[in-house]
Amino acid sequence: MDAFEVLFRTYYRELCTFAFKYFRDKDTAEEIVQDLFYKLWEKKETLVIRSSIRSYLYRSVYNNTMMMIREKNIRKTTNVLPLNSEMIPGDEPDARLQTIELDQIVESTLSSMPQKVRRIFEMSRFEGLKYKEIASRLLISIKTVEANMGKALKLFRQNLKEYYE
């Protein structure tokens, strides 16, 4: 079995579950995850992952989910269906630049967090765990999880405030 197949078999089901939380539609969740693995396969020769593979996959599913939600919201408000891939938000140069800038802000914010705060944030946002599950895994109280998530979200608000001004 090659590495890609192991990666797919290891993460496919849990990533589908993670995407399902946003859409409550199994087909859409699977489409998002399948698209991610397709893109990984296409870029396997040149892809460089600077974080853990798990975090990368969860963040990719999250980003793809948010992009799909934005696309659906745009279609709802304009009542226009994209005719081709050039019309899909996120493929435009400005949208790509914004995504890159936001990714940089997210990366710098994550790297500036204390280890414990970062780990709790990643477990919540990238792995989709509930506060109770995080507390159980890390052997800490739910209040500690809540406090650390508050610190993480405050850092994000501060750093993103500058971006949106």
Pick from 91, 121, 145: which residue ends a domain? 91
Q: How far apart are the first and last CA of the chain?
A: 50
Cα dihedral sign, 131-122-45-27: positive
Task: Please tell me the total count of domains within the chain.
Answer: 2
Map tokens 């579950």 to a residue. 17
Residue 86 is assigned to a structural domain of this protein: yes
Q: Which residues contact 68 (CB under 8 A, 6 or more apart)?
A: 23, 28, 32
The CATH number given to whatever domain includes residue 22 is 1.10.1740
The CATH number given to whatever domain includes residue 154 is 1.10.10.10
Single pTM value for the model: 0.45
One digit per residue, pLDDT tens: the chain, 165 residues? 577 788 888 889 999 998 888 777 888 888 889 888 888 888 877 877 777 888 888 888 888 888 877 766 655 444 444 434 443 444 455 556 666 777 778 788 888 999 999 999 888 887 878 889 999 999 999 899 999 988 988 888 888 776 655
